Structure 1
Amino acid sequence: MRIQYQIKGITCLFLMLIMLVILIFPMYLYYLHNTNKWTLLSAQKAVSTINSILDYGEQANVIALSYKGLPCDRVSLNLRHEVTSIPYVRSVNLAKDNLIYCTSLFGESTFQDTPSDYVNHKLLLMPGNRVKKNHPLIVVRTSNGDTAALSGIDGLYIQTLLSQQEDDKLLLYIRVHNKWLSEGGSFLKNPSVNSLFALKSFTSPKYPFSVYAGLDFGSSLSAFLNQNKVYLFFVAIISLVLPTFMWWQLTRPISFDRELTRALKNNEFIPYAQPIVDAFHRHVIGIEILMRWHHPVHGIIRPDLFIPQAEESGLIIPMTKNLFISTAKLLNQFSLPSKFHVSINITAMHCNGMQLLYDCQEFLAMVNNSNIKLVLELTERQKLDNTPHIASLFSTLNNLGVTLAIDDFGTGHSSLSYLNEFNVKTLKIDLSFVSQIGKNSLSEHLIDNVIDLGKRLNMSMIAEGVETNEQAEFLKSREVSYLQGYLFGKPEPLSEWLLSYKNEYLK
């Protein structure tokens, strides 16, 4: 039993793990796909916006180049006007022959302009300028012959763009060659972007820069767990509740009727045989068929633990039908001696309809052996009234050659009335009397009275529960014809008993 519970527990645990895998793994793959798609889209959107910002720098440069050849004192005011009128542009400069000669900030100037510092002679990311040394900016350079216009874009605009994301774990960087600007406004040369989860980059098709986007997590698993807490919570609840419910279903007590129905469906009720012997020669003259329950968990269950409930629920009817069929199938395989008794127990409930007659007819047809004498042992646990239907039933059975015996005579309902009203051929002396032989003189007197009654009514008698030679000799001395009990053989599966009987008696 304990092993069965362990198996059920392992099954439920395995189910929970399977459910976790089924519910989480596809979601995990979906999350990876969507996150990579999202970070790439974020990088693309950032590139598009930065392109638009740099376009304003390009626009300012084109206007500034229209002043090519004019002295600084004539164009500086125009440069300052550009700064105030064109979005994002914070300075405009003019250079000639690699020297900056005019700026919107200082007017006429002389600063070195090195085209090779610019990526593709177009773009330069700087950590600062003369006005703000630690304030990054991007310079857009546009050339026209020996003259170039340089527009400075404040890095704060780029920083603001990079930092304004819907998820604070999403980090964006702009890269211009080997120089980087983070969403925090830091100017970097070797940032550890490769540690970001779902890292994606997108390069501008218009300007020489790229944007990198990724999530600030150590691994894909930590990212998944952090960003899907609600989903994982419900998955955990479902994975816990369903196996728990399954465990409850598997282990909860079920009604005994349901268990009997299940056992009947699975053919767990097996015919057992106990020999009946001639009291004088101790030769086997027949067997009593006893029902045993081969339970898959509890093993072999005695009939007194389930027969009363089966009778109360009415399941004893189909159970007995199956017993008739399984017994007949086994007996049909052997050639048994003449007048070989096969006794099967019935109750008053069996006699209410015609099923008993049908079962007996089917049994006799299946065994197809005139040597077999079918005996129905009527138990006295339930009272049987002598109705016209009962009289007709027993008369029909008698015509078929089926005889009636009273089981456990003297211990139940109306034994004497049964003898008077029904065509009873055999009395079975109950083991409760037999067990007291040699111990209780009163029981011996009772047995003597039963035996005397049987003799007067010209009935054959079978004594049950014979376990000692003393009991057997006592009954033999009282001319009890047949004996049954552990002294001659314990009940065993009919299939095994028939093989043993064949090897010993049917040689």
Structure 2
Amino acid sequence: MLATEKPRHDLRWLVAAGLIPILLCLLFTLLEAGQMVKRQLAVTSSMLMSQAENISDRARVMTASLQEYKNHRCADIKDELQEYGSMHPYFRSVGLIENGNVICSSTFGERQDSIEDIIRRPLPPEHKDLWSLSVAGTSGVNNRPAVLFMHEDRDGFASYALVDGQYFIDFIWAAGMRHDYDISMKFGDGFAMFSGVPATRQSDKQWGNHTLNTHSDRYAITLNVTSSRSELLYNWRQVLLSLMPMALILSLLFVALTSNWLKRKSSFRDEIRRGIERSEFSVHYQPVFNLQTQKFSGAEALMRWQRPDGHWVRPDVFISAAESEGMIVPLTRYLLQRVIQDSAQWQLEPGFHLSVNLAAEHLQHDEFMSDIRAFAAGMDHLKPTITLELTERSLIGEDRMVSQRLAELRREGIIIAIDDFGTGHCALSYLQTFPLDYLKIDRGFVNTIESVDGETPVLDAIISLADKLALKVVAEGVENEMQLRYLQNHGVSFIQGYYFARPMESAVLSEWLQEHNGSVPQEPTTR
């Protein structure tokens, strides 16, 4: 079962790596195609609006010119009106109105008709002196739209110009033909002139259609331009053809990189498992010096990995890999067993502090408590004080469960310490929330010490914080006498580092402790 699950899992990774660039390309090109359609709609709308405003300007000039014929008899001016209507483009008819009735026009001369009868609809109830209205047809031309432009004064006199709507329809058709747009245009609250199928057709509500509604700043003109789905798909295809080759190349590259990563990942996981089976991992121990008793009162167990070819793998590399590959719990269990085996040859004083590092994953594992109790039972012949060193990340997550487990272990005589304090993401409130005994200062803060009498604000703050919380402090990475003196002057009692001892193999530890606990380095004098 396991043999088939792993290839399937890897295959999913490879498929995902290959699809991601292609899917992103499809998404990006679709969005870009949509933007292209919107830009095309804006250009078309601007062109049509400009043309409609140009015709409106001509109509406005015409109605203003006709105002000079107020109080003239139609018989005297009808020839001039006919000349206006025939000589100027766009106009179907021009004329004069009094109290809602046409009193003279270029089309019918002195024949009087109601303007409402001519446009076959009521006039707008509220309108300005200058206004326009598109209509479906007129009494003279029933089946062709027109646009009425009016210029009224307060005495009930008005001049009008009736523009043939076919001009607008021709412009609309020419603008929309290339892109298969549905375009409608109306003046005021009037009839919507359109080309082809009305813009309100059902397909407008389907996926892929884009609609742009614009209004003139100068006239009561409303323009509606709607693109079809085919226009979006056409633009999408064009963009896709230009970018898909690059997406395919990226897809192949991602597959190759993922395949290489999976091989390395699988290889590292398998190598750690084989390393455990072949006992390639060993445990070295670095003594911890107690400045108060002037003896080495403890040691930290540190995992080391030497490959069959003699190459040493750095601890930060294989521990990080073990955490990411789900091998940290088996590796920690192996560490605990090796310490028990090594301790069979030791001769230590009761209460000797033995520290082991634990990962967050192990701390939250269902068998964590049984693993630690089994370790404590295996070490019971030496009566040591077992210290569990936890990283700050270990305390983030299941607060209640972790706190309960640590409190229970403390009641059983096990010491809890935070390792590398200040380098993780632990909130200061966690120091009060969790049952802790020791705080280990990372070597990075120790390295900031520049003189015995100098100041290191962050390091000093950590030491002061630990003192206020009644936590004992262990300083890691101490390499010279100046650092030792500084730490001693600031109340740090436990020192770990190359200044006293490097990590050593189990066979050396017992003899080394017996030899050096009788002749430790001289305590530095204080100023």
Instruction: Return the index of the structure with the highest Cα Rg.
Output: 1
After TM superposition, the score normalised by the length of structure 1 is 0.47
After TM superposition, the score normalised by the length of structure 2 is 0.45
